[in-house]
Amino acid sequence: MEEVRQSSAWVVHNSSHVTIDSSGIEKVVEKMKDSIPKVEWDYEGIHYFDNGPLTVQYLFVLDALNFCFWPDKDLNYDHLAKGLKDALLNDNSAFDADRLQKYTGPQLRELLKWPRPLPLEEERVRLLHEVGFELERSFEGKASKLVESCGKSAVKLVALVTRHFPGFRDHSVYKGHQVFLYKRAQIFASDLWGAFKGQGYGEFNDICSITMFADYIVPAVLQQLGVLKYSSTLANAIQASSEIGAGTEEEIELRACSIYAVEKMRELLSIKSGKQVLSVELDLWLWSVGVQCPSLQHHRTLSIYY
Protein backbone atom coordinates (compact mmCIF):
# COMPACT_ATOMS: atom_id res chain seq x y z
CA MET A 1 0.00 0.00 0.00
CA GLU A 2 2.84 2.32 -0.85
CA GLU A 3 0.51 4.71 -2.67
CA VAL A 4 -1.67 5.02 0.45
CA ARG A 5 1.35 5.66 2.70
CA GLN A 6 3.05 8.08 0.33
CA SER A 7 0.00 10.12 -0.57
CA SER A 8 -1.06 10.33 3.09
CA ALA A 9 2.42 11.56 4.01
CA TRP A 10 2.09 14.26 1.35
CA VAL A 11 -1.16 15.45 2.94
CA VAL A 12 0.47 15.53 6.40
CA HIS A 13 3.31 17.69 5.11
CA ASN A 14 0.93 20.13 3.43
CA SER A 15 -1.83 20.07 5.99
CA SER A 16 -3.79 23.21 7.01
CA HIS A 17 -6.38 21.98 9.55
CA VAL A 18 -5.01 18.81 11.22
CA THR A 19 -1.59 18.21 12.76
CA ILE A 20 0.07 15.21 14.34
CA ASP A 21 1.52 15.68 17.81
CA SER A 22 4.59 13.46 18.13
CA SER A 23 4.64 13.87 21.92
CA GLY A 24 1.05 12.52 21.89
CA ILE A 25 2.25 9.48 19.93
CA GLU A 26 5.11 8.95 22.39
CA LYS A 27 2.77 9.08 25.39
CA VAL A 28 0.36 6.52 23.91
CA VAL A 29 3.19 4.23 22.85
CA GLU A 30 4.83 4.49 26.27
CA LYS A 31 1.60 3.30 27.91
CA MET A 32 1.07 0.45 25.43
CA LYS A 33 4.55 -0.89 24.84
CA ASP A 34 4.58 -3.62 27.49
CA SER A 35 1.15 -4.99 26.72
CA ILE A 36 -0.12 -4.20 23.25
CA PRO A 37 -3.84 -4.80 23.54
CA LYS A 38 -4.80 -7.67 21.25
CA VAL A 39 -8.38 -7.41 20.04
CA GLU A 40 -9.81 -10.62 18.68
CA TRP A 41 -11.57 -10.35 15.33
CA ASP A 42 -15.34 -10.74 15.77
CA TYR A 43 -15.10 -10.42 19.53
CA GLU A 44 -18.74 -9.37 19.24
CA GLY A 45 -19.78 -12.66 17.55
CA ILE A 46 -21.77 -10.86 14.87
CA HIS A 47 -20.18 -12.15 11.68
CA TYR A 48 -21.04 -15.13 9.51
CA PHE A 49 -18.29 -17.77 9.45
CA ASP A 50 -18.22 -21.29 7.98
CA ASN A 51 -14.52 -21.51 7.09
CA GLY A 52 -15.34 -21.68 3.35
CA PRO A 53 -16.05 -19.64 0.19
CA LEU A 54 -19.46 -18.46 1.39
CA THR A 55 -17.70 -16.58 4.21
CA VAL A 56 -15.60 -14.80 1.57
CA GLN A 57 -18.77 -13.86 -0.34
CA TYR A 58 -20.32 -12.61 2.92
CA LEU A 59 -17.28 -10.48 3.80
CA PHE A 60 -17.14 -8.96 0.32
CA VAL A 61 -20.82 -8.00 0.44
CA LEU A 62 -20.34 -6.70 4.00
CA ASP A 63 -17.43 -4.48 2.99
CA ALA A 64 -19.25 -3.29 -0.14
CA LEU A 65 -21.83 -1.82 2.27
CA ASN A 66 -19.52 -0.96 5.16
CA PHE A 67 -19.92 2.84 5.21
CA CYS A 68 -21.84 5.80 6.57
CA PHE A 69 -24.11 4.54 9.34
CA TRP A 70 -24.18 7.75 11.36
CA PRO A 71 -27.06 9.58 9.58
CA ASP A 72 -29.41 7.15 11.34
CA LYS A 73 -28.56 7.52 15.01
CA ASP A 74 -29.80 4.01 15.83
CA LEU A 75 -27.89 2.24 13.06
CA ASN A 76 -24.34 0.96 13.30
CA TYR A 77 -21.88 -1.50 11.80
CA ASP A 78 -23.10 -4.33 14.03
CA HIS A 79 -26.57 -4.14 12.49
CA LEU A 80 -25.08 -4.60 9.04
CA ALA A 81 -22.75 -7.48 10.01
CA LYS A 82 -25.44 -9.30 12.00
CA GLY A 83 -28.23 -8.52 9.52
CA LEU A 84 -26.25 -9.96 6.60
CA LYS A 85 -25.26 -12.97 8.71
CA ASP A 86 -28.88 -13.75 9.59
CA ALA A 87 -29.92 -13.24 5.96
CA LEU A 88 -27.36 -15.82 4.86
CA LEU A 89 -28.30 -18.29 7.60
CA ASN A 90 -31.89 -17.97 6.42
CA ASP A 91 -31.09 -18.35 2.72
CA ASN A 92 -27.62 -19.43 1.67
CA SER A 93 -28.10 -18.20 -1.90
CA ALA A 94 -28.95 -14.63 -0.79
CA PHE A 95 -25.54 -13.35 -1.96
CA ASP A 96 -25.28 -15.27 -5.23
CA ALA A 97 -24.05 -12.93 -7.96
CA ASP A 98 -27.34 -12.98 -9.88
CA ARG A 99 -29.34 -12.20 -6.73
CA LEU A 100 -27.01 -9.32 -5.78
CA GLN A 101 -27.82 -7.63 -9.09
CA LYS A 102 -31.54 -7.59 -8.37
CA TYR A 103 -31.96 -6.19 -4.86
CA THR A 104 -34.06 -3.07 -4.49
CA GLY A 105 -33.83 -0.61 -1.60
CA PRO A 106 -36.89 -1.98 0.22
CA GLN A 107 -35.59 -5.56 -0.25
CA LEU A 108 -32.21 -4.67 1.22
CA ARG A 109 -33.93 -2.99 4.15
CA GLU A 110 -36.05 -6.09 4.62
CA LEU A 111 -32.97 -8.34 4.41
CA LEU A 112 -31.37 -6.34 7.21
CA LYS A 113 -34.65 -6.13 9.13
CA TRP A 114 -34.28 -2.37 9.24
CA PRO A 115 -37.62 -0.58 9.62
CA ARG A 116 -36.89 2.54 7.54
CA PRO A 117 -34.76 3.60 4.58
CA LEU A 118 -31.03 3.06 5.11
CA PRO A 119 -28.67 6.04 4.83
CA LEU A 120 -27.54 6.37 1.20
CA GLU A 121 -29.80 3.44 0.35
CA GLU A 122 -29.75 4.03 -3.41
CA GLU A 123 -25.98 4.01 -3.37
CA ARG A 124 -25.92 0.83 -1.30
CA VAL A 125 -28.17 -0.89 -3.82
CA ARG A 126 -26.10 0.38 -6.75
CA LEU A 127 -22.93 -0.97 -5.11
CA LEU A 128 -24.54 -4.37 -4.50
CA HIS A 129 -25.47 -4.53 -8.18
CA GLU A 130 -21.93 -3.56 -9.16
CA VAL A 131 -20.48 -6.32 -6.97
CA GLY A 132 -22.87 -8.95 -8.40
CA PHE A 133 -22.28 -7.87 -11.99
CA GLU A 134 -18.49 -7.77 -11.85
CA LEU A 135 -18.19 -10.96 -9.80
CA GLU A 136 -20.29 -12.70 -12.44
CA ARG A 137 -18.39 -11.16 -15.36
CA SER A 138 -14.85 -11.77 -14.12
CA PHE A 139 -14.82 -14.21 -11.17
CA GLU A 140 -17.43 -16.91 -11.89
CA GLY A 141 -19.73 -15.09 -9.51
CA LYS A 142 -17.50 -15.87 -6.54
CA ALA A 143 -15.52 -13.52 -4.30
CA SER A 144 -13.46 -16.59 -3.33
CA LYS A 145 -12.13 -16.74 -6.94
CA LEU A 146 -11.08 -13.12 -6.63
CA VAL A 147 -9.15 -13.92 -3.45
CA GLU A 148 -7.63 -17.10 -4.89
CA SER A 149 -6.20 -15.13 -7.81
CA CYS A 150 -4.11 -12.93 -5.51
CA GLY A 151 -1.40 -15.43 -4.59
CA LYS A 152 -1.62 -14.73 -0.85
CA SER A 153 -0.88 -11.04 -1.34
CA ALA A 154 -3.07 -8.45 0.37
CA VAL A 155 -1.49 -5.75 -1.79
CA LYS A 156 -2.58 -7.61 -4.94
CA LEU A 157 -6.03 -8.13 -3.49
CA VAL A 158 -6.51 -4.42 -2.83
CA ALA A 159 -5.22 -3.63 -6.34
CA LEU A 160 -7.57 -6.15 -7.92
CA VAL A 161 -10.61 -5.06 -5.93
CA THR A 162 -10.03 -1.37 -6.74
CA ARG A 163 -9.38 -2.19 -10.40
CA HIS A 164 -12.57 -4.20 -10.89
CA PHE A 165 -15.01 -2.48 -8.54
CA PRO A 166 -15.22 1.33 -8.93
CA GLY A 167 -17.18 1.62 -5.68
CA PHE A 168 -14.03 0.57 -3.77
CA ARG A 169 -11.84 3.29 -5.38
CA ASP A 170 -11.60 5.44 -2.29
CA HIS A 171 -9.39 8.30 -3.41
CA SER A 172 -9.50 12.08 -3.57
CA VAL A 173 -7.68 15.03 -5.05
CA TYR A 174 -6.07 17.19 -2.38
CA LYS A 175 -4.35 20.47 -3.29
CA GLY A 176 -3.85 19.04 -6.78
CA HIS A 177 -2.48 15.67 -5.61
CA GLN A 178 -4.24 12.34 -5.89
CA VAL A 179 -4.58 10.75 -2.47
CA PHE A 180 -5.37 7.05 -2.02
CA LEU A 181 -7.09 5.94 1.16
CA TYR A 182 -8.69 2.61 0.15
CA LYS A 183 -10.53 1.99 3.38
CA ARG A 184 -13.07 -0.65 2.32
CA ALA A 185 -10.70 -2.52 0.00
CA GLN A 186 -8.11 -2.81 2.78
CA ILE A 187 -10.65 -3.73 5.44
CA PHE A 188 -11.81 -6.57 3.20
CA ALA A 189 -8.27 -8.01 3.21
CA SER A 190 -8.07 -7.52 6.95
CA ASP A 191 -11.48 -9.12 7.55
CA LEU A 192 -10.37 -12.21 5.62
CA TRP A 193 -7.13 -12.33 7.61
CA GLY A 194 -9.03 -11.92 10.90
CA ALA A 195 -11.89 -14.31 10.12
CA PHE A 196 -9.72 -17.12 8.74
CA LYS A 197 -7.02 -16.44 11.34
CA GLY A 198 -4.31 -15.96 8.72
CA GLN A 199 -4.99 -19.34 7.10
CA GLY A 200 -6.69 -20.45 3.86
CA TYR A 201 -8.55 -17.51 2.32
CA GLY A 202 -7.03 -15.32 5.04
CA GLU A 203 -3.39 -16.17 4.39
CA PHE A 204 -1.45 -13.11 3.25
CA ASN A 205 2.34 -12.95 3.23
CA ASP A 206 2.23 -9.16 3.21
CA ILE A 207 -0.48 -8.30 5.76
CA CYS A 208 2.07 -5.86 7.24
CA SER A 209 1.55 -3.69 4.14
CA ILE A 210 -2.04 -2.83 5.00
CA THR A 211 -2.56 0.57 6.65
CA MET A 212 -5.22 1.53 9.18
CA PHE A 213 -8.73 2.00 7.80
CA ALA A 214 -9.54 5.69 7.63
CA ASP A 215 -13.13 5.84 8.85
CA TYR A 216 -14.90 8.33 11.10
CA ILE A 217 -14.28 6.52 14.43
CA VAL A 218 -10.48 6.14 14.54
CA PRO A 219 -9.64 9.82 13.78
CA ALA A 220 -11.86 10.81 16.73
CA VAL A 221 -10.06 8.31 19.00
CA LEU A 222 -6.68 9.62 17.87
CA GLN A 223 -7.79 13.16 18.65
CA GLN A 224 -8.98 12.12 22.09
CA LEU A 225 -5.64 10.42 22.77
CA GLY A 226 -3.83 13.67 21.90
CA VAL A 227 -2.28 12.24 18.73
CA LEU A 228 -4.22 14.47 16.32
CA LYS A 229 -4.75 18.20 16.84
CA TYR A 230 -7.44 20.13 14.97
CA SER A 231 -7.64 23.81 14.05
CA SER A 232 -10.26 25.60 16.13
CA THR A 233 -12.59 25.95 13.14
CA LEU A 234 -12.46 22.22 12.45
CA ALA A 235 -12.81 21.34 16.15
CA ASN A 236 -15.88 23.59 16.36
CA ALA A 237 -17.44 22.09 13.23
CA ILE A 238 -17.04 18.56 14.62
CA GLN A 239 -18.33 19.63 18.02
CA ALA A 240 -21.39 21.21 16.40
CA SER A 241 -21.99 18.06 14.28
CA SER A 242 -21.81 20.19 11.13
CA GLU A 243 -21.42 18.23 7.95
CA ILE A 244 -17.92 18.25 6.45
CA GLY A 245 -18.09 17.91 2.68
CA ALA A 246 -16.61 14.84 0.99
CA GLY A 247 -13.34 15.76 -0.71
CA THR A 248 -12.76 18.94 1.30
CA GLU A 249 -9.29 19.63 2.68
CA GLU A 250 -10.58 19.05 6.19
CA GLU A 251 -11.99 15.64 5.38
CA ILE A 252 -8.92 14.40 3.53
CA GLU A 253 -6.60 15.70 6.26
CA LEU A 254 -8.59 13.90 8.98
CA ARG A 255 -8.27 10.62 7.13
CA ALA A 256 -4.73 10.92 5.75
CA CYS A 257 -3.28 12.20 9.05
CA SER A 258 -4.87 9.22 10.81
CA ILE A 259 -3.14 6.81 8.42
CA TYR A 260 0.21 8.53 8.88
CA ALA A 261 -0.15 8.78 12.67
CA VAL A 262 -0.92 5.06 13.02
CA GLU A 263 2.11 4.25 10.85
CA LYS A 264 4.26 6.35 13.20
CA MET A 265 2.72 4.66 16.26
CA ARG A 266 3.41 1.27 14.74
CA GLU A 267 7.05 2.11 13.97
CA LEU A 268 7.69 3.43 17.47
CA LEU A 269 5.86 0.56 19.14
CA SER A 270 7.81 -2.00 17.12
CA ILE A 271 11.09 -0.40 18.23
CA LYS A 272 10.11 -0.04 21.90
CA SER A 273 8.49 -3.46 22.29
CA GLY A 274 11.01 -5.31 20.11
CA LYS A 275 8.12 -7.01 18.29
CA GLN A 276 6.64 -6.41 14.87
CA VAL A 277 3.34 -4.61 15.30
CA LEU A 278 0.83 -4.43 12.44
CA SER A 279 -1.24 -1.36 11.55
CA VAL A 280 -4.24 -3.70 11.32
CA GLU A 281 -3.77 -4.70 14.97
CA LEU A 282 -3.48 -1.09 16.06
CA ASP A 283 -6.55 -0.19 14.02
CA LEU A 284 -8.68 -2.91 15.56
CA TRP A 285 -7.67 -1.78 19.04
CA LEU A 286 -8.30 1.93 18.33
CA TRP A 287 -11.63 1.16 16.67
CA SER A 288 -12.80 -1.02 19.57
CA VAL A 289 -11.92 1.82 21.98
CA GLY A 290 -13.94 4.21 19.83
CA VAL A 291 -17.10 2.15 19.46
CA GLN A 292 -17.17 1.56 23.22
CA CYS A 293 -17.27 5.29 23.82
CA PRO A 294 -20.78 6.49 22.91
CA SER A 295 -19.97 10.14 23.66
CA LEU A 296 -17.21 10.22 21.03
CA GLN A 297 -17.76 13.15 18.64
CA HIS A 298 -16.77 12.17 15.12
CA HIS A 299 -16.73 14.11 11.86
CA ARG A 300 -19.78 13.82 9.66
CA THR A 301 -19.25 13.34 5.94
CA LEU A 302 -21.70 11.73 3.57
CA SER A 303 -19.54 9.22 1.73
CA ILE A 304 -19.74 5.76 0.19
CA TYR A 305 -16.11 5.11 1.07
CA TYR A 306 -16.26 4.78 4.87
Ligand X SMILES: Nc1nc2c(c(CN[C@H]3C=C[C@H](O)[C@@H]3O)cn2[C@@H]2O[C@H](COP(=O)(O)O)[C@@H](O)[C@H]2O)c(=O)[nH]1
Query: According to the binding rule CB under 6 A, does residue 243 interact with ligand X?
Result: no
Residue tagged active-site, from 170, 191, 215, 283: 215
Closer CB to ligand X, 141 or 213, in the complex: 213
Q: How far is the CB of 127 from ligand X (least distance, A)?
A: 13
Does 168 engage in binding with ligand X (CB under 6 A)? Answer: no
215 is catalytic: yes
49 near ligand X, rule: CB under 6 A:
no
In whole angstroms, give the CA distance from residue 78 to residue 209.
27
- Comparing CA positions, the residue from 163, 296, 164, 127 lying closest to residue 217 is 296
Among positions 48, 77, 95, 201, the unique one binding ligand X when judged by CB under 6 A: 77
Among 134, 215, 251, 253, binds ligand X (CB under 6 A): 215
Give the torsion sign (CA, 253, 258, 263, 265). positive
- Within 13 A of 240's CA, how many CA atoms are on the CB side? 9
Q: Which is nearer to ligand X, 174 or 188 (CB)?
A: 188
User: What is the H or E stretch that residue 160 is in?
Assistant: helix 154-164
Residue closest to 230 by CA, chosen among 13, 20, 5, 11? 20
Pick the binder of ligand X from 48, 58, 67, 204 (CB under 6 A).
67
**Burial annotation 15-40 (CB, 10 A radius, 16+ → b, else e):** bebbebbeebbeebbeebbeeeeeee
76 binds ligand X (CB under 6 A): yes
Mark residues 246-275: x for contact with ligand X by CB under 6 A, - for none.
------------------------------
Q: Which residues are catalytic?
A: 215
